[in-house]
């Protein structure tokens, strides 16, 4: 059986079958470790990239929430200002209403007359806030 020779320093040695198999196993083991190390590195790289992307999206979402809260505060402030302005206008309108003046204009310009004592009738109703008249009142 022809042997395989290997150089060991300045000496050439004949390698026996068992030693050669041992070197082959060591080389295969080294290649396997290298491949596992490479796959582990790639997996770590992918996991790191996913974590960075997730963190970036989280930061963006947090920024969006902060911006929306600021917008909400601004809109609420505008609402309160408009509501105050509206309340002031309403008070001004209410203070300008003069019932005596309205009655005088209604009587002189529009021909309204005040109801006499026999023209007013009182009756009970189930509804307290308004009345719908679908037919003539009793006695008319």
In a domain, 74, yes or no: yes
**41 found inside a domain:** yes
| DSSP of 65-103 | HHHHHHHHHHHHHHHHHHHHHHHHHHHHHHHH--HHHHH
In a domain, 91, yes or no: yes
- The whole domain housing 98 covers 4-106
Q: Is the pLDDT of residue 138 over 70?
A: no
| Residue 18 falls inside a structural domain | yes
In the chain, the number of structural domains is 1
In a domain, 128, yes or no: no
pLDDT tens-place string over residues 18-54: 555 556 656 666 666 676 677 778 888 999 999 999 9
Say if 42 falls within a structural domain.
yes
In a domain, 80, yes or no: yes
Confidence label for 1 from pLDDT (cuts 50, 70 and 90):
very low
pTM beyond 0.85, yes or no: no
Query: Does residue 111 form part of some domain?
Result: no
pLDDT (tens digit per residue) in 71-105: 999 999 999 999 999 999 999 888 888 888 888 99
């Amino acid at each position: 059986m022809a042997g395989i020779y290997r150089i060991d320093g300045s000496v050439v040695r004949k390698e026996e079958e068992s030693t050669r198999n041992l070197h082959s196993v060591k080389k295969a083991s080294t290649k396997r470790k290298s491949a596992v190390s490479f796959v582990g590195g790639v997996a770590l790289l992918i996991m790191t990239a996913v974590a960075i992307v997730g963190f970036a999206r989280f930061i963006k979402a947090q920024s969006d929430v902060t911006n929306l809260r600021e917008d909400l505060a601004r809109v609420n402030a505008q609402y309160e200002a408009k509501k105050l302005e509206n309340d002031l206008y309403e008070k001004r309108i209410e203070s300008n209403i003069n019932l005596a003046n309205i009655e005088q204009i209604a009587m002189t310009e529009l021909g309204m007359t005040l109801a006499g004592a026999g023209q007013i009738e009182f009756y009970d109703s189930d509804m307290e806030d308004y009345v719908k008249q679908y037919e003539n009142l009793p006695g008319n």
